[in-house]
């Protein structure tokens, strides 16, 4: 289906669900869907209209509706790097979770953007392909890892990236090949307004299944030992800045801020850069704690810590 074949939307602009129900959209539509269940901070208000497309055609229908009626569109991956406003997300939130295909071409693994990173890593192991070990137990989706250029255990997504297929603002499916200049710490070519990542291809190499598996287990264990899964969080809250000479977690620790709490949110006791939803925190609690940590670090060191976590939804 091309956007031209999609009927024009004549209904009230505040009922995109009605339009989608009348259109050939074949995915799920959920109204006032609690985002607490869809993000790792386990906080925040509902998505006004959450859609779960089953196909590229579905995505095109949603995209066209949003463009024609000026409806805000947020693309949701695994929700592992976002802080959703307590007021929720207006407009349409499009979850990529059903876009989760896997295909192998030679040693390249091509994964749908909605596939979880865990599932992608398992697929690589199953096929004895090496290269994805560093992403073992990274929360989130393939799309989110590409968007954020996820980085851990001495490597980043850019190191194995071959190409990605994206949907552009003018409804074209475009292939973006690797270009070194497009990538940097927490920077990827997908952060340009309006791109929807559909799939990503990763350059891997044949390996020994047992050694791939033991590396993956080692990293999974290290994540558990570092307390990544002890409480709801979005992993590292702040970016690291080389100019500061040490990681943000160490700076926060040296400022004596471990354990600092505000409402139900705390700086974890075990890692300065992991802010957690200790007990029933609102996103406002977490957001205020982020600002509190920034202010205290600035006062004591002069450094401004830049959040890595993205605030999503209505923050006014
Ligand atoms: C316990 C824990 C540990 C973590 N450890 C690490 C770590 O070691 N290293 C690291 O880098 N990160 C880490 N993170 C953060 C998180 O896992 C990564 O940022 C992850 O890549 C986010 O993916 P996601 O699918 O959850 O993205 P989301 O949080 O859903 O979205 C993040 C951004 O990506 C955009 N996006 C997602 N999918 C698409 C798509 N298909 N098309 C266009 N835009 C899209 C969203 O719109 C949003 O702007 C950790 C998080 C947790 C909870």
Question: What are the structural domains of the chain?
Answer: 3-95 (3.30.43.10), 102-224 (3.30.465.10), 229-312 (3.90.78.10)
Among this protein's residues, is 308 annotated catalytic?
yes
Tokens of 298: 């600035």
Catalytic residue among 97, 133, 165, 308: 308
The label of the residue with tokens 């620790």 reads 253
- Asked if residue 10 has pLDDT above 90, the reply is no
Distance, CA of 213 to CA of 220 (rounded, Å): 10
Distance, CA of 225 to CA of 234 (rounded, Å): 16
- Asked if residue 215 has pLDDT above 70, the reply is yes
Say how many Å lie between the CA of residue 233 and the centre of ligand 1: 12
pLDDT in tens, 243-291: 999 999 999 999 999 999 999 999 999 999 999 999 999 999 999 999 9
Q: Closest Cα to residue 167, out of 198, 143, 192, 188?
A: 198
Which ligand 1 atom lies nearest to the CA of residue 41? Answer: 53
Query: What average pLDDT does the segment 21-49 reach?
Result: 97
Query: What average pLDDT does the segment 212-221 reach?
Result: 98
Distance, CA of 201 to CA of 281 (rounded, Å): 37
In this structure, the chain runs to a length of: 316
Kindly state the DSSP code that residue 172 receives in the 8-state scheme.
Answer: -
Query: What average pLDDT does the segment 216-222 reach?
Result: 98
Residue 112 pLDDT grade (very low, low, confident, very high; cuts 50, 70, 90): very high
Query: What average pLDDT does the segment 212-231 reach?
Result: 97
Tokens of 86: 């307590």
Among this protein's residues, is 236 annotated catalytic?
yes
Report residue 231: phi and psi, to 5°: -155, 155
So what's the pLDDT on residue 4?
A: 38
Say how many Å lie between the CA of residue 51 and the centre of ligand 1: 19
DSSP per residue, 177-210: E--GGG-BTTB-GGGSTT-EEEEEEEE-EE--HH
Distance, CA of 113 to CA of 13 (rounded, Å): 29
The label of the residue with tokens 């070519």 reads 189
Greatest mean pLDDT range, 12-16, 191-195, 278-282: 278-282
In angstroms, the Cα distances linking 248 to 43, 73, 293 are 24, 32, 11
Which residues make Cβ contacts (< 8 Å) with residue 221, sequence separation at least 6? none
Query: What average pLDDT does the segment 9-27 reach?
Result: 79
- Asked if residue 235 has pLDDT above 90, the reply is yes
Q: Which of 35, 37, 43, 77 to mutate to test the pocket of ligand 1 (most atoms within 8 A of CB)?
A: 77
Which residues make Cβ contacts (< 8 Å) with residue 37, sequence separation at least 6? none
So what's the pLDDT on residue 187?
A: 97
**Residue bearing the bigger pLDDT, 192 or 202:** 202
- Asked if residue 74 has pLDDT above 70, the reply is yes
- Asked if residue 13 has pLDDT above 90, the reply is no
- Asked if residue 2 has pLDDT above 60, the reply is no
So what's the pLDDT on residue 14?
A: 56
Tokens of 265: 């949110």
Radius of gyration of the chain (CA): 20
Residue 5 pLDDT grade (very low, low, confident, very high; cuts 50, 70, 90): very low
So what's the pLDDT on residue 12?
A: 47
Kindly state the DSSP code that residue 37 receives in the 8-state scheme.
Answer: G
Distance, CA of 263 to CA of 86 (rounded, Å): 14
Residue 15 pLDDT grade (very low, low, confident, very high; cuts 50, 70, 90): confident
Query: What average pLDDT does the segment 12-29 reach?
Result: 86
């Amino acid at each position: 289906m091309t956007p031209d074949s999609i009927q024009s939307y004549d209904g009230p602009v505040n009922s995109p669900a009605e339009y989608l129900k009348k259109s050939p959209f074949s995915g799920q539509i959920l109204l006032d869907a609690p985002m607490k269940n869809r993000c790792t901070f386990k906080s925040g208000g509902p998505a006004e209209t959450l859609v779960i497309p089953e196909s590229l055609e579905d995505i095109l229908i949603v995209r066209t509706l949003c463009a024609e009626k000026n409806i805000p569109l947020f693309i949701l991956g695994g929700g592992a790097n976002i802080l959703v406003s307590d007021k929720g997300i207006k407009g349409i939130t499009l979850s990529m979770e059903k876009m989760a295909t896997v295909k192998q071409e030679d040693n390249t693994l091509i994964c749908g953007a909605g596939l979880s990173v865990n599932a992608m890593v398992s697929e690589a192991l199953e096929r004895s392909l090496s290269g994805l070990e560093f992403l073992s137990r990274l929360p989130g989706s393939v799309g989110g890892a590409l968007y954020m250029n996820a980085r851990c255990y001495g490597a980043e997504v850019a190191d194995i990236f071959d190409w990605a297929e994206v949907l552009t603002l003018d409804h074209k499916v475009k292939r973006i090949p690797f270009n070194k200049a497009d990538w940097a710490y927490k920077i990827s070519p997908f952060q340009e307004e309006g791109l929807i990542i559909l799939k990503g291809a990763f350059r891997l190499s044949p390996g020994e299944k047992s050694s791939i598996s033991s590396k993956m287990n080692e990293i999974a264990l290290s994540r558990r030992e570092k307390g990544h899964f002890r409480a709801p969080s979005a992993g590292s809250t702040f970016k690291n800045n080389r100019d500061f000479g040490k990681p943000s977690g160490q700076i926060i620790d040296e400022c004596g801020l471990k354990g600092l709490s505000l409402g139900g949110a705390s700086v974890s006791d075990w890692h300065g850069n992991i802010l957690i939803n200790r007990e029933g925190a609102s996103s406002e609690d977490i957001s205020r704690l982020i600002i509190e940590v920034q202010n205290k670090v600035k006062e004591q060191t002069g450094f401004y810590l830049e959040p890595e976590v993205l605030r999503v939804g209505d923050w006014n």
